[in-house]
Chain A
Amino acid sequence: DIQMTQFPSTLSASVGDTITITCRASQSIGPWLAWYQQKPGKAPKLLIFKASNLEIGVPSRFSGSGSGTQFTLTISSLQPDDVATYYCQQYDSFSTFGGGTKVEIK
């Protein structure tokens, strides 16, 4: 099974900061990675698919990069509405989610 390790597990930043979340796969997954945002009590929302493709309607301050085993989600100019837990998901071999990164505002 492919394991997905996300870090940090918690991130605290100020409004306007640029933050980066990293997801590492236990083996190469090519570009087959998605990122989701989940707010408390809500279903996850797709942000990025195939590593760097922005889902329709998602603000351009969200961006994804990487391939193989290391991927990053970057949020430029962090907004209060971005407070959430973020998950990566590999779908190269079946599917596995990362453990999540909780983003808070300082």
Chain B
Amino acid sequence: QITLKESGPTLVKPTQTLTLTCDFSGFSLSSSGEGVGWIRQPPGKALEWLALIYWDDDRRYSPSLRSRLTVTKDTSKNQVVLTMTNMDPVDTATYYCAHSPYWHFDLWGRGTLVTVSS
């Protein structure tokens, strides 16, 4: 059974760097074909894909946010970490991590709400 859970700060100040952790179980990110993605959703708005990392350390980023995002994995801890620099109030959103067998997302975490405010 695959499960994922996001964790990190609920409040960050403008210009700060956000670091979110996705703890997962039920699969290994060292196994061929496995991936984890990050998606966010501002309150009342649509989903926005942010980043993906695969078992072979292939990393993909949203072109519009590429300069601000870094995604890494720790296969020994079953964790994926997303960092986003220079946070702004428009980045206020629920951030989800999700299991990705091939660019679509078959199982999601419950999400974590991050508010950007001074």
Contact = CB atoms under 8 A, between A and B. Distances in A.
A14 to B, nearest CB: 26
Contacts of B48: 97
A100 B107 CA distance: 19
Interface of chain A: mostly helix, strand, loop or mixed? loop
Contacts of B24: none
Nearest to A91: B103
Interface in A63-89: 87, 89
Interface residues of A, number: 23
Interface string A1-19: 1000000000000000000
A6 to B, nearest CB: 9
Contact of B63 (A1, A42, A49, A99): A1
Contacts of B49: 89, 94-97
Interface residues of B, number: 23
Nearest to A6: B46
A19 B60 CA distance: 35
A74 B23 CA distance: 34
Contacts of B37: 95
Interface of chain B: mostly helix, strand, loop or mixed? loop
A58 B88 CA distance: 38
B46 A99 contact: yes
B46 A87 contact: yes
B108 A44 contact: yes
Q: Nearest 4 CB-CB pairs, A to B?
A: A91-B103, A43-B108, A95-B49, A34-B104
19 contacts: A32-B103, A34-B105, A36-B47, A44-B47, A44-B105, A44-B108, A46-B106, A89-B49, A89-B104, A91-B102, A94-B63, A95-B37, A95-B52, A95-B103, A97-B47, A97-B48, A98-B46, A99-B46, A100-B46
